Amino acid sequence: MTTERRRPGRPHRDRPLLTRPAILAAALELVDEAGIGALSMRRLAGRLDVDPMSIYHHLPNKAAIVSGLVGTVYSTMAPVPVDGPWAERVRAWARAYRDLALAHPNLVLQIVTDSVAASDAAVLISEPLYAAFDAAGLAPPDVVNAAGALVDFVNGYALAGAAAPVEGDPMGERLDALPPDRIPTMRRVHAAVAREPAERDFFSSGVEIIIRGATALAAGATGR
């Protein structure tokens, strides 16, 4: 009935107790459940039932764990169609990237930061988006600018969605608390929207704005 005490030394197994995937899986669970602040080497080790220092034999440091986590999440991005109407492919890419980010709200900050730091994994997932804007007939600089604008928009959106999950009408309450004369337009506009909610959601509208803006920009650049 005595709890077995772990002893140092190489484990007598053909397979080691600890593996990189097992560590990352436990870390992702921890972050999903308790937030990025709860991810510490000691807590993670506790969850794996192992000495904190054992982890360092598989991942060099905590930063490597976090970027490993982000890489794992990138690898779950849903596939995007490689043919069909280009605008539909842009929409599909935006949805897939957003879903990836929002699947792990506690990791959004790291996902977004890594995406803008342009790690290999982050660069790779952008290819279908470039291909879609390229298929639209945009000139190379326009492809880069349109894809960048869309990525930045989704990054900003994901950050907002994760930081301030919407319940009821928090924006309305917040606006009511501020001095009316400082934000007349915001109050009026928000009141109008509250009376008659928009038929298209905020995310889709942002994507549509960028799709139409990119085509307009390209048309204008080539002389209309």
Contact status: 211 vs its own copies (CB under 8 A): yes
Q: What are phi and psi of 138, to 5 degrees?
A: -70, 150
Burial class (CB in 10 A: 0-12, 13-18, 19+), 94: buried
Token reading at 63: 């930063």
The interface with DNA within residues 58-97 (CB under 7 A) comprises 58, 61-63
Q: Whole-number minimum distance, CB 159 to its own copies, in Å?
A: 5
Residue from the set 33, 34, 212, 222 that interacts with its own copies by CB under 8 A: 212
Using CB distances below 5 to 8 A depending on partner kind, what does residue 20 bind out of DNA, its own copies, none? none
Q: Whole-number minimum distance, CB 54 to DNA, in Å?
A: 4
Residue from the set 25, 36, 43, 171 that interacts with DNA by CB under 7 A: 43
C-alpha–C-alpha distance, residues 126 and 123, integer Å:
5
Q: Are 18 and 54 in contact (CB under 8 A)?
A: yes
Residues near 65 by Cβ (< 8 Å), separated by ≥ 6? 23, 24, 27, 39, 44, 55, 59
Contact status: 42 vs DNA (CB under 7 A): yes
Q: What are phi and psi of 86, to 5 degrees?
A: -60, -40
Q: Which of 6, 188 has the CB closer to DNA? A: 6
Within a 10 A sphere around the Cβ of 31, how many other Cβ atoms? 22
Please give the residue ranges that form the binding site for DNA (CB under 7 A). 5-11, 16-18, 39-43, 50-54, 56-58, 61-63
Q: Which residues bind its own copies (CB under 8 A)?
A: 109, 112-113, 116-118, 120, 123-124, 126-127, 130-131, 134, 140-146, 148-149, 151-157, 159-160, 163-164, 170-171, 174-175, 177-178, 182-186, 188-190, 192-193, 197-198, 200, 202, 205-206, 208-214, 216-217, 220
